Chain A
Amino acid sequence: MKPWWIVVRKEVLESLRDRRTLLSALVMAPLFGPLMFSFSMQTMLKRGLDEQDKPLQVAVMGKEHAPNLVHWLESQGLEDVPAPKDVASIPAAVRDAKPRLVLVIGPDYGKRFRAAKAAGVKVYVDSSDQDSQRDFRRLDQLLQNYSSQTSALRLAARGVDPGIAQPVMLDEIDVSTPASRAQSLLAILSYFLLFSTLIGGMYVAIDATAGERERGSLEPLVSLPVSREALVAGKFVATMAFSGVSLVLTLASFAISLRFVPLESIGMSANLGPKVLTGVFLSLLPFVPLAAALLTLVASFARSFREAQSWMTGALLVPTLPIMVAAMTGMKPTALLMAVPSLSQHFLIARLLRDEAVPLTDGLLSAGGSLLLTGVLLVFVVRLWRREKLLG
């Protein structure tokens, strides 16, 4: 047996006996992520659907000045709720979301409306609250509809073609498919998968380096006639094994739990068939050695288990950075970006979920970029292991 393989077997055996390692690699990441994801998605979807059917609750002040408008709004699903007692108390009430929206119609509304002048109304809204914002958009849409209907009638009454007031007419043609609509929601899925790949190997990496140093077992280990490269290789491969298993379990767990999310109800399909699953797995496969190399490097810096743990929280965020930057700047996949680890995997997964064809070159670029970085990180790990400071 080669020394590195002996090290792998020992690290795996030891980790399998450590409840904490086992829990994080084989239970926490694969179960927690997908469950949380599916659950939050389910509640989000349900809420979205419920809100559509709910009446729009608005407190209307000055109803008597615009009975026609109020009547029309009520016919469109607006529910009039009790208004605050005076104008001064409106802001505080709206901030408390009691009610979320207040529509104030002034006493000169009627006069201006009849004179065909722009008649103003005020809407109080707390834009820092998501629910209020959504309600406001609905009310805004209603008011605009009323406005354009009225203007069309006025123009027609004056013998003018209403089209003259509408130089450009927008006609939206939605070409999204159910799968592509789901994609925006499933975009975070790639992050969950990258994350659990890292979590899976985390404790093995810490145990095999910082933990070994803390227990004082590293000293006898380096007194053996085994090269430091062989030791690093063994610890790296053991970490990789746990990361890989965690990834597979998480994928399987997603495939199962997403079936219970009512994506179809909003015209989306989860599209996690065997073919897509295989594609996602293959896309993420080159990330496994990269994750293991990153974890081993970070753990090799730390002197103790605790120190390693706090370093790790930072390491877990590293793969999110490229994805976040790309999302904020709206980057599209290019050859250069396809070589960026974690981002390229994110792009590949997004395309697979959209049911788009993925060019082989993109897959190879992504794998190549990840493996190259793995090599670079491993060179640094071996250098760290050759330093005398390693032993403290």
Chain B
Amino acid sequence: MIHVTGLAKRFGTVEAVRDVSFTAPDGRITGLLGPNGAGKSTTLRLLYGALTPDRGEARVDGLLAGPEHTEARRQLGVLPHGAGLYPHLTARENIRYFGELHGMSGATLEKRIDELVAMLELGEAANRKTQGFSQGQKVKVGIARALVHSPRNLILDEPTNGLDVMAIRSLREVLRGLRAAGHCILFSSHVMQEVAALCDDVVIIAGGRVIASGTPEQLREQAGTTTLEDAFVKLLGSETAEVQS
């Protein structure tokens, strides 16, 4: 479970995150939805310990998150923006490196890698260098790498960016499978359809603040619209109006 309260972070004069609070429970897929520059990535980076919050706190399974708190990171699997693989290493080697840094080794690790290669249908590509991989393959390897230590919680930053339809479908299948296994999945997106198709809970962020949250049904009701897209636009619109007044 991921729990965030009153999170704030500024870079110089830019307040990237002003006040973000939400809970992403186990066994559910939670989507962070918002326009570009809303503070989604910064919120996630505060969660996985790349940044220290100025105010508020983020907790993973009750453990405080931050650069100095390695324990919280044990409970996390992270797919950051753009996967970030090592091009000279094979897919397996990429996954193995992270497994080893999580303290795994030997037959346990190799068995786990086999499982992940099968689950993500990487096939023969698993033994090739990731240099020439398609974006879809890269994301798959990134997810396998994030899952190698079987974390309870999974954070994905814009995982569908640059993926084709087939790759997106298979990614959804993977995430649904993980939800069924009781994982807590938190992912960010600026694509409405993505969130509508996959999420149990939606947290809408704009200007570094949470402006609405709930199930897609609750959000539609709150905005008095029939589709989530209309709700999103309406809720965002009222926020901008508020800021302007």
Binding site for B on A (CB under 8 A): 1, 3, 6-7, 10, 13-14, 17-18, 215-228, 386, 388, 391
A217–B85 CB distance below 8 A: yes
Min C-beta distance of B2 to chain A, whole Å: 14
Given contacts A222-B50, A223-B50, A223-B73, contact A6 B97 (CB under 8 A): yes
CA distance A7 to B70 in the complex (A): 17
Min C-beta distance of A342 to chain B, whole Å: 32
CA distance A217 to B146 in the complex (A): 12
B23 located at the interface, meaning its Cβ lies under 8 Å from any Cβ of chain A in the complex: no
B window 160-202: CB within 8 A of A: none
Chain B residues, CB < 8 A from A225:
70-71, 73-74, 101-102
Chain B residues, CB < 8 A from A216:
80-84
Given contacts A223-B49, A224-B102, A388-B50, contact A17 B88 (CB under 8 A): yes
B145 located at the interface, meaning its Cβ lies under 8 Å from any Cβ of chain A in the complex: yes
The residue of chain A having its C-beta at the shortest distance from the C-beta of B105 within the complex is A1
B89–A13 CB distance below 8 A: yes
B98 located at the interface, meaning its Cβ lies under 8 Å from any Cβ of chain A in the complex: yes
Given contacts A1-B105, A216-B82, contact A222 B88 (CB under 8 A): no
Min C-beta distance of B54 to chain A, whole Å: 11
Can you list 13 residue pairs at the A/B interface with Cβ under 8 Å? A13-B88, A13-B89, A13-B93, A14-B88, A215-B87, A219-B50, A223-B49, A223-B73, A224-B73, A225-B102, A226-B101, A388-B51, A391-B45
CA distance A10 to B89 in the complex (A): 9
- Most A Cβ at <10 Å: residue of B89, B93, B101: B101
B48–A223 CB distance below 8 A: yes
Chain B residues, CB < 8 A from A227:
70
* Beyond A215-B86, A223-B48, 20 extra complex contacts between A and B, CB < 8 Å: A1-B105, A7-B101, A10-B86, A13-B88, A13-B89, A13-B93, A14-B86, A18-B88, A215-B84, A215-B85, A220-B79, A220-B84, A220-B145, A223-B50, A224-B73, A224-B102, A225-B73, A388-B51, A391-B45, A391-B50
CA distance A3 to B100 in the complex (A): 8
The residue of chain A having its C-beta at the shortest distance from the C-beta of B87 within the complex is A215
A222–B70 CB distance below 8 A: no
Min C-beta distance of B182 to chain A, whole Å: 21
B window 77-123: CB within 8 A of A: 78-89, 93, 97-98, 100-102, 105
Interface footprint category on B: 35 or more
The residue of chain B having its C-beta at the shortest distance from the C-beta of A230 within the complex is B101
Chain B residues, CB < 8 A from A217:
84-86
B52 located at the interface, meaning its Cβ lies under 8 Å from any Cβ of chain A in the complex: yes
CA distance A18 to B87 in the complex (A): 10
CA distance A3 to B74 in the complex (A): 14
Chain B residues, CB < 8 A from A391:
45, 50-51
- The A contact surface, by secondary structure, is helix
Min C-beta distance of B119 to chain A, whole Å: 19
Given contacts A10-B97, A226-B70, A227-B70, contact A219 B49 (CB under 8 A): no
Query: Contacting A220 at CB < 8 Å: which of B52, B71, B78, B105?
Result: B78
B102–A219 CB distance below 8 A: no
Given contacts A14-B86, A224-B73, contact A219 B100 (CB under 8 A): no
Residues 118-141 of B, flagged 1 when their CB comes within 8 A of A and 0 if not, give 000000000001000000000000
Min C-beta distance of A72 to chain B, whole Å: 74
Query: Contacting A224 at CB < 8 Å: which of B89, B93, B101?
Result: B101
CA distance A386 to B52 in the complex (A): 11
Min C-beta distance of B34 to chain A, whole Å: 20
Min C-beta distance of B4 to chain A, whole Å: 16
B89–A14 CB distance below 8 A: yes
Min C-beta distance of B112 to chain A, whole Å: 16
CA distance A14 to B73 in the complex (A): 25
Min C-beta distance of B139 to chain A, whole Å: 12
The residue of chain A having its C-beta at the shortest distance from the C-beta of B69 within the complex is A225
B210 located at the interface, meaning its Cβ lies under 8 Å from any Cβ of chain A in the complex: no
CA distance A215 to B73 in the complex (A): 22
Chain B residues, CB < 8 A from A14:
86, 88-89
Chain B residues, CB < 8 A from A386:
67
CA distance A191 to B99 in the complex (A): 43
B142 located at the interface, meaning its Cβ lies under 8 Å from any Cβ of chain A in the complex: yes
- Most B Cβ at <10 Å: residue of A219, A386, A388: A219
The residue of chain B having its C-beta at the shortest distance from the C-beta of A388 within the complex is B51
- Most A Cβ at <10 Å: residue of B52, B86, B100: B86
Chain A residues, CB < 8 A from B80:
216, 219-220, 223
Query: Contacting A388 at CB < 8 Å: which of B52, B85, B100?
Result: B52
The residue of chain B having its C-beta at the shortest distance from the C-beta of A222 within the complex is B50
B144 located at the interface, meaning its Cβ lies under 8 Å from any Cβ of chain A in the complex: no
The residue of chain A having its C-beta at the shortest distance from the C-beta of B98 within the complex is A224
B76 located at the interface, meaning its Cβ lies under 8 Å from any Cβ of chain A in the complex: yes
Min C-beta distance of A274 to chain B, whole Å: 38
CA distance A242 to B81 in the complex (A): 31
Chain B residues, CB < 8 A from A13:
88-89, 93
Top 3 nearest A-B pairs by Cβ distance?
A: A216-B84, A217-B84, A225-B70
Min C-beta distance of B108 to chain A, whole Å: 13
Min C-beta distance of A21 to chain B, whole Å: 9
Given contacts A6-B100, A10-B89, A388-B52, contact A223 B84 (CB under 8 A): no
Residues 51-70 of B, flagged 1 when their CB comes within 8 A of A and 0 if not, give 11000000000000001001
CA distance A28 to B71 in the complex (A): 44
CA distance A10 to B100 in the complex (A): 10
CA distance A310 to B71 in the complex (A): 38
Min C-beta distance of B143 to chain A, whole Å: 11
